[in-house]
Structure 1
Amino acid sequence: MLVTGLVVSRGDDLVADLAGGALYAALVHLAVLLVAPRTRPTTAAGTALGVCVVVELAQLTDVPAAVATAWPPAAYVLGTTFVATDLAAYAAGVGVVTVVDVLAVDVLARRRTGRSATVRAEPPRGPRT
């Protein structure tokens, strides 16, 4: 994902900008899961999206640009210019990771209980009368 993000960051069109935003948000989401692996998918998604939105809104101030001037690699994390379409890209990136996370949790739960992904377990039956 990191290599893809660096390749996309070399583009200068809207597609590259949106793809970069989605990848950035996916990376933030994965970082949340790395820091707190037992976090529920929706909580991790909300946290990641919140971080992305705060970083994007911070770009309405001069702080991220000043930090990036002092230490250029910070521009990859903080950005420098507010772009409203990035907010949609962040939602898309977080959404994709959330879907994958939910599916992975489901697959792992099925493996743990020994159930097949295609066969549903029978509900428990009570005593026959």
Structure 2
Amino acid sequence: MTLIPKTYDGAADPLRIRLAAAGAAVMTVGMGLGLRAVAAGNVAKYGGDALYTILLLTLVVLVRPRVTPLRAAASALTVSWAVEFLQLSQVPAELSQRSTLVRLMLGSTFNPPDLFWYTVGAAAGWLSHTAVRSFPTGRGTRDG
């Protein structure tokens, strides 16, 4: 079974990686919406924080399909933390009053525990990305 198809030279096919990343992004959004539907309080909030960083990681892979799992996770974590620290200013709160989409993307209030849960999301995304990249492609084997 081919999960990450390779091109003739053995390199992963960027188009297929992008398609997989787009599918993972859609699934991540679905998981976030599902979590909000079935959970409340800290479970929904902090689970959403972790999923936010995972979503960012999938978007990094979508843009840069050959990025390493570590760089993708580090990029997603950096953006997550930057957005959280931006909340120390009034900019996200003011923008959030004008747009629901901005509120979902930027939040409005700094919350230190969010930094930990973004790190959890980055670690989970790194593990998942590493695992997917290590799946055999089926090419060059007796089964392929």
Q: TM-score, normalised by structure 1?
A: 0.80
3-state secondary structure, aligned to 1:111 = coil
Deviation at 1:115, TM superposition (A): 8.3
Report the AA paired with residue 66 of structure 2. R
Aligned to 1:75: 103
Deviation at 1:8, TM superposition (A): 3.3
What value does the CA root-mean-square deviation take over the aligned residues?
1.9
1:57 aligns with 2:82: no
Q: Percent identity?
A: 32
> In the alignment, which residue of structure 2 is the partner of 1:114?
141
- Of 84, 89, 94 in structure 1, the residue corresponding to residue 117 of structure 2 is 89
Give the partner amino acid of 2:45.
D
List structure 1 segments (4+ residues) > 6 angstroms apart after TM superposition: none
Q: State how far apart, in whole Å, the 2-side matches of 1:91 and 1:113 are.
A: 37
Aligned residues: 115
1:25 equivalenced with 2:53 (yes/no): yes
Secondary structure of 1:34's aligned partner:
helix
7, 10, 32: which is aligned to 1:5? 32
TM-score by length of 2: 0.72
CA offsets, 1:50-97, max 9 Å, x none? 000000000111001111112222111001111111111111111111
3-state SS of 2:100 partner: coil
Gaps of 5+ in 1: 117-129
Instruction: Give distance in 2, aligned partners of 1:48 and 1:73.
Output: 19
Q: 5+ unaligned residues in a row in structure 2: which ranges?
A: 1-27
Alpha-carbon distance in 2 for matches of 1:115, 1:90:
42
Query: Residues 23, 98 of structure 1: CA spacing in aligned structure 2 closer, same or farther, 3 A cutoff?
Result: same
Q: Which amino acid aligns with 1:32?
A: V
